[in-house]
Structure 1
Amino acid sequence: MRIMMLAAALWLAPAQAAIDVYEFEDPAQEQAFRELVRELRCPKCQNQDISDSNAELAKDLRDKTYDMLVAGSSKQEVIEYMVARYGNFILYKPPLMASTLILWIGPVLVILIGLAVVLVRTRKRSGAGSGEELSDEERARLARLLNKDKEN
């Protein structure tokens, strides 16, 4: 019987995943917390915000965010703390500055370069066959080639 209870406890252990429960003094604090955990990127997961990440670091960041809000910090103060500690990478929307300029301009540049390449290649193709007349010698050769196909 004890073995069965031990087996059941081990089997059910993964199902008892930790769920973060945070209690707030007012709805404004809770709203600020929800917004912050969606705006901050998990440094370990990189493509998840700290609310979606199961990484231990993300849990620590959620706890720190909660502690700072309960202590009276504003959203901006929490963001400034996180940026000071982890850099602008922690923000899903990094500020426009010299070091992040490529993040903001890069996608536009890639699209513009792609359009330029398509336009240049299209014009080269359309320009190759138009505007030039065949010489008499080329017409005679073309006629011979066409007649050769009809004879076969």
Structure 2
Amino acid sequence: MMNEQRRQVLQMLADGKLAADEAERLIDALGRERPESAPTPRGATRPKYLRVVAVDTSGDSGPSRLNIRVPLQLLRAGVRLASLIPPEALVKINKALDRSGIPIDLTELRPQNIEELIEQLGEVDIDVDDPGSRVQVFCE
């Protein structure tokens, strides 16, 4: 699969859809991904970032790129900040979230829960392909 991804980047370079430096960055990003045949053992290294990479080549004005790297420490800080919200406010927030279709109870959110979530995120690797775009979500 990795060789296919590299081939696609090189083809986009050959077709003039990517500049050489853009192709180099994409190939470097592909090289940082874990090989499928050698998964990282549990607990070997803790992921530090949640990465979202998207390339849309369907437009006439050239490829559109999105590369977001969210520190997982931000999730940890968010949980600690949530513990400072007064209980009355949490009830109102939970009701508003529920009305919006997000059934999350913030009163039940604990730091140990977020650590378990982050541990599981280390095994997340999502690829979405279609003819005009590519989206990847992974932890690094």
TM-score, normalised via structure 2 length: 0.25
Point out the structure with max Rg over C-alpha. Answer: 1
Identify which of structures 1 and 2 has the higher relative contact order when contacts are C-alpha pairs closer than 8 Å and 6+ apart.
2
Higher strand share: 2
Normalising by structure 1, we get a TM-score of 0.24
